[in-house]
Amino acid sequence: DTAVSQTPKYLVTQMGNDKSIKCEQNLGHDTMYWYKQDSKKFLKIMFSYNNKELIINETVPNRFSPKSPDKAHLNLHINSLELGDSAVYFCASSLVFATNEKLFFGSGTQLSVL
Amino acid sequence: KQEVTQIPAALSVPEGENLVLNCSFTDSAIYNLQWFRQDPGKGLTSLLLIQSSQREQTSGRLNASLDKSSGRSTLYIAASQPGDSATYLCAVRRNEKLTFGTGTRLTIIP
């Protein structure tokens, strides 16, 4: 069974559209994250939720809105997509929000905005 | 602001050789350092996590060291295999933030 799963794996869309990426973890973890990996392969945190509550919002445009219906899910909704949003988006989770916890990553969603 | 650098960006090594990947960071006030591998089109897999109070961690053929005062970590891979080919990323944690390096793309030549 996949521990952290994201859908879709690939997403191609036009500028100005609204799209969502879904993430689910079956590890029983309390904390979930969204990371963005740009074309230079640099990974940067976007959001972190602990037990459905937002704890990190790393200066991401408010076109990006995470939603956590329960602690096993953290979905990312993006409004008015721009060319610069093209990247690979990774969901991750950790057991708790603690500094010594390992992160477990999903396989990524490659978003291409045309 | 924490900056994490990995040099070289790419490395090719014949199968069977031992190798070392390097990671350096600018702010030594970290909680831990984690090494990941990323396979093409896939997510990251955590390899080793070293707490700030530790000097090294070992898992199988992998050994990671941490010298916090000098802002450096190394990942040693013994007896390399073609299956080790991947991009290796280090990440340092301070408070709630995990800062990643840009990775070293490793190719093991059969």
Q: List the pLDDT tens digit at each of the 110 positions of chain B.
A: 889 999 999 999 999 999 999 999 999 888 899 999 999 877 889 999 999 999 999 999 999 999 999 999 999 999 999 999 999 999 998 877 788 998 999 999 99
Residue-wise pLDDT for A26-45, tens only, equals 999 999 999 999 887 788 88
- Cα–Cα distance for residue pair A57/A7, rounded to 1 Å: 22
Cis peptide before A69 (omega within 30 of 0): no
Residue-wise pLDDT for A42-71, tens only, equals 888 898 888 888 887 777 888 999 999 998
Q: Across the interface, do B96 and A106 touch by the CB < 8 Å criterion?
A: no
Residue B41 exposure: Cα atoms within 13 Å on the Cβ side: 3
pLDDT greater than 70 at residue A114: yes
Query: Two tokens at A77?
Result: 């909704």
Residues 25-64 of chain A with CB under 8 A from chain B are: 40-45, 48, 55-56, 58
Amino acid found at B10: A
Residues of B in CB contact (< 8 Å) with A are 31-32, 34, 36, 41-46, 49, 51, 87, 89, 91, 93, 95-98, 100, 102-103
Amino acid found at A110: Q
A4–chain B nearest CA distance, Å: 10
